[in-house]
Structure 1
Amino acid sequence: MAAPATATPWVEKYRPRSLEDVSHQTEIISTLTNAVETNRLPHLLFYGPPGGRFHSTHKCRQLYEPSQLKRRVLELNASDERGISVVRDKIKHFASLAIGSSSGGGSKKNFFAKKGDGEAMDAEEAPSKKYPNPPFKIIILDEADTVTRDAQAALRRVIEAYSKVTRFVLICNYVTRIIEPLASRCAKFRFAPLPEASMKERIMYISKQEQCHFEDEKEAEVIDEILTLSQGDMRRAVTTLQSAHSLSGGKDGDPIKKASIAEMAGLPPPKLIDDLVAILQTKRFDAMRDFVRENIVMEGFAAEYVLSALMAKIIIMDDVTDEAKSKIAIKVAESDKNLIDGSDETLQLLDVCSLALQNMKRQ
């Protein structure tokens, strides 16, 4: 039973359905389109920042008839299945399955001699102009940068041994975590962060399609706030817009306000950071400690976001020396590492604020 339209996440509803729909990656899409049309697809390695639409590219089903997808495409999320046993068992087994040879054209007679499971090919599964149905299978390994180095070493041999019948698509955020012997076997494509203008155009299109309404003549301001918080991540921007639309009551509810965007995202408001900076400049430890506990910790703001906003504020302050800024930046980096390791948020906030209090001038 299909889910109602209102229950569909907008990131899925407005996901690109073809290569042509992927925005602002013109050269890469042109290269891939040509490779698809000529059946000369190499092994691929897509990398770039989160939300850059490269994860969507492999979902553009332009290669196979819908009835062929399950037999010709294997998708794995490497963050869940990243051990060497998966490479030796699941991936190697799928890659080694033989398929029939292709005549290279539109002939139904010789395109696939047999199905992958040994059955005769149905007439409706023959190649068409819309679906090239190339004579190879595809294995898609998402988040490949989380695969262990031993598993990557095993994978490079599998790629080499079965390249005649299988193509591999590796997708990751950090290409440096892919071992060089594996990366060298793939054609690399870097998906650059989407420019703000391209993201804004898409967000405005989605808001019109979903009948979002904003404060009077403040649609651009609200969307700019969403884009600022998303930091180039298109998925995050679309999700934030949907959340704001839902929390405001939908198309018949209250208008979406700029002030509610940061609050909904759990980010500290600018006034909170301004008040914190003012207290740090007073050189009063007790006042700083009480403010951190009552106005930040008790209000539930994440220490990571508070430290990031505080550092961004201090960086542009003229009455703080470069030496003080560098000391505070190093302390923020250390606290961020400690937070990732599970340290107490209150202690890390007080640690950073104590150092900032010592290095900032009195008003």
Structure 2
Amino acid sequence: MSDELATQPTLVQDNRPWVERYRPKSLQEVSHQTEVVATLQNAVTTGRLPHLLLYGPPGSGKTSVALALCRQLWHPSQWRRRVLELNASDERGISVVRNKIKHFASLTVAKGNNDMENYPNPPFKIIILDEADTVTPDAQAALRRIIEAHSKITRFILICNYVTRVIEPLASRCAKFRFQSLPPSSMKARLEWIANEQNCSESEKDLLDDILEYADGDMRQAVTTLQSVHSLAAGGAKVDKAALAEIAGLPPPAIVDMLWTALLSNSFDTMEKVVETLSAEGFSAQLLLSALVPKLVTDQDLNELSKAELAIRIAEAEKNMIEGGDEQLQLLTVCSLAVSCFEQSKTINQ
């Protein structure tokens, strides 16, 4: 019975996704974000921490840095009680701010024990609000007042992708730290370490450069893709570059060529049918547009003005999709303009 209890924690730990298992446990393990880490390391040393606003692209380490900071501020037995982590995409209404956040922020802080002297144990709590840019404006306004009222015993760490969606009165109360997309060099070093820890085969390690290319600076996506590759290889499946593209959710070259052929057909009906088919099959409109951009830029038949119009329309479509626009409609809008541009260029050339 005692042997079973001894091995149980290891089994639980092994079942965690790699992105959680290999999340940095300290600020020293964070890759690339040198200035941010150096500043926060000073906060760990002194125990003085302002309200923070961490912003940048997905997978750049914002949440990992916030959690690593909390781990270094308090003893492992205590930091979970001092930290409230909320995902604003699930809990973003004003009622959550007025009830859950306000209640936790107003609680008094107990004094640290003597056996925890190796940790700063600052006399405050931390509330981590992930995806703060999705919080409604009314809730952000209420949060501003809570920050003012309870700043003596509570610090806030706001995490978002788009800092412009955080109201200025709230952003001005925080020290802002911008996270950059991770360069392939630092990402590869971390992926190689994870691959060695998991005893990945040489064929799996040979795909690391392709994984980094598809991840495009997103460490979370890179680690998840590597785990998917390892799982497929462990099941006896052959994992090559084509299979890797499918794992990453990228449209196969044949699909991109089919859409490109439809654009060159000078037929709106043909193009519309292809767009409907691809949307029904679940291909991402954003990834399809990303795959079309190199073809449109290098095409010899399109003039510079048409390329500029298409680039602007693609940017507008991506913005609309980020804000919740219908993917099929946005893809259809771009493809309609492309068909029109190709038709005009064909008429001019004749």
Q: Same fold (TM over 0.5)?
A: yes
CA gap of 1:292–1:177, structure 2 versus 1, over 3 A, is closer
Q: CA deviation at 1:238?
A: 0.7
Give RMSD over aligned pairs.
2.9
8 Å contact 1:62–1:130 — kept in the other structure? no
Range with bigger deviation, 129-138 or 328-337: 328-337
Instruction: Give the counterpart letter for 1:43 in structure 2.
Output: H
Once residues 351 and 95 of structure 1 are traced to their aligned partners in structure 2, the CA distance between those partners, rounded to angstroms, is 47
In structure 2, which of residues 4, 14, 26 is the aligned counterpart of residue 18 of structure 1? 26
Once residues 127 and 181 of structure 1 are traced to their aligned partners in structure 2, the CA distance between those partners, rounded to angstroms, is 40
Q: TM-score, structure 1 length as denominator?
A: 0.81
| Structure 2 counterpart of 1:86 | 96
- Map 1:187-198; keep pairs closer than 5 Å: 187-198=175-186
| Structure 1 counterpart of 2:195 | 207
8 Å contact 1:72–1:137 — kept in the other structure? yes
Once residues 183 and 92 of structure 1 are traced to their aligned partners in structure 2, the CA distance between those partners, rounded to angstroms, is 19
In structure 1, which of residues 323, 329, 341 is the aligned counterpart of residue 325 of structure 2? 341
The structure with the greater share of residues assigned to helix is 2
Q: What SS does structure 2 have at the residue aligned with 1:232? A: coil
In structure 1, which of residues 228, 240, 246 is the aligned counterpart of residue 231 of structure 2? 246
Once residues 264 and 276 of structure 1 are traced to their aligned partners in structure 2, the CA distance between those partners, rounded to angstroms, is 21
Once residues 190 and 279 of structure 1 are traced to their aligned partners in structure 2, the CA distance between those partners, rounded to angstroms, is 41
CA gap of 1:219–1:255, structure 2 versus 1, over 3 A, is farther
Once residues 193 and 169 of structure 2 are traced to their aligned partners in structure 1, the CA distance between those partners, rounded to angstroms, is 43
In structure 2, which of residues 211, 215, 219 is the aligned counterpart of residue 230 of structure 1? 215
User: Is residue 78 of structure 2 the alignment partner of residue 68 of structure 1?
Assistant: yes
- Deviations 1:22-71, CA, capped at 9 Å, x for gaps: 11111211111111111111111111111011111121211112332343
8 Å contact 1:138–1:166 — kept in the other structure? yes
Q: How many residues were matched structurally? A: 333
Range with bigger deviation, 70-79 or 187-196: 70-79
Instruction: Give the counterpart letter for 2:134 in structure 1.
Output: T
| Structure 2 counterpart of 1:266 | 249
- Deviations 1:236-255, CA, capped at 9 Å, x for gaps: 111111112212335xx345
CA gap of 1:128–1:225, structure 2 versus 1, over 3 A, is same
CA gap of 1:146–1:288, structure 2 versus 1, over 3 A, is closer
Once residues 172 and 211 of structure 2 are traced to their aligned partners in structure 1, the CA distance between those partners, rounded to angstroms, is 38
Q: What SS does structure 2 have at the residue aligned with 1:67? A: coil
Q: CA deviation at 1:128?
A: 3.3
CA gap of 1:270–1:263, structure 2 versus 1, over 3 A, is same
| Structure 1 counterpart of 2:173 | 185
Instruction: Give the counterpart letter for 1:242 in structure 2.
Output: Q
8 Å contact 1:324–1:359 — kept in the other structure? yes
| Structure 2 counterpart of 1:318 | 300
User: Is residue 59 of structure 2 the alignment partner of residue 51 of structure 1?
Assistant: yes
Once residues 128 and 97 of structure 1 are traced to their aligned partners in structure 2, the CA distance between those partners, rounded to angstroms, is 21
Instruction: Give the counterpart letter for 2:81 in structure 1.
Output: R
- Deviations 1:148-197, CA, capped at 9 Å, x for gaps: 22222222222122222111111111111111111111111111111111
Q: What SS does structure 2 have at the residue aligned with 1:51? A: coil
Instruction: Give the counterpart letter for 1:267 in structure 2.
Output: L
Once residues 334 and 304 of structure 2 are traced to their aligned partners in structure 1, the CA distance between those partners, rounded to angstroms, is 17
| Structure 1 counterpart of 2:340 | 358
Q: What SS does structure 2 have at the residue aligned with 1:138? A: strand
Q: CA deviation at 1:349?
A: 5.2
User: Is residue 40 of structure 2 the alignment partner of residue 32 of structure 1?
Assistant: yes
8 Å contact 1:127–1:133 — kept in the other structure? no
| Structure 2 counterpart of 1:109 | none
- Deviations 1:72-126, CA, capped at 9 Å, x for gaps: 22222222222222222222222222235xxxxxxxxxxx2xxxxxxxx7xxx33
Once residues 279 and 169 of structure 2 are traced to their aligned partners in structure 1, the CA distance between those partners, rounded to angstroms, is 47
Once residues 270 and 315 of structure 2 are traced to their aligned partners in structure 1, the CA distance between those partners, rounded to angstroms, is 24
| Structure 1 counterpart of 2:5 | none
In percent, how many aligned pairs have the same letter?
A: 56
8 Å contact 1:213–1:256 — kept in the other structure? no
Q: CA deviation at 1:7?
A: 2.6
- Map 1:283-302; keep pairs closer than 5 Å: 283=266, 296=278, 300-302=282-284
In structure 1, which of residues 160, 163, 175 is the aligned counterpart of residue 151 of structure 2? 163
8 Å contact 2:232–2:238 — kept in the other structure? no
Structure 2 residue runs without a partner (length 5+): 1-7
Q: Which has the larger radius of gyration?
A: 1
Once residues 85 and 333 of structure 2 are traced to their aligned partners in structure 1, the CA distance between those partners, rounded to angstroms, is 45
CA gap of 1:23–1:304, structure 2 versus 1, over 3 A, is closer
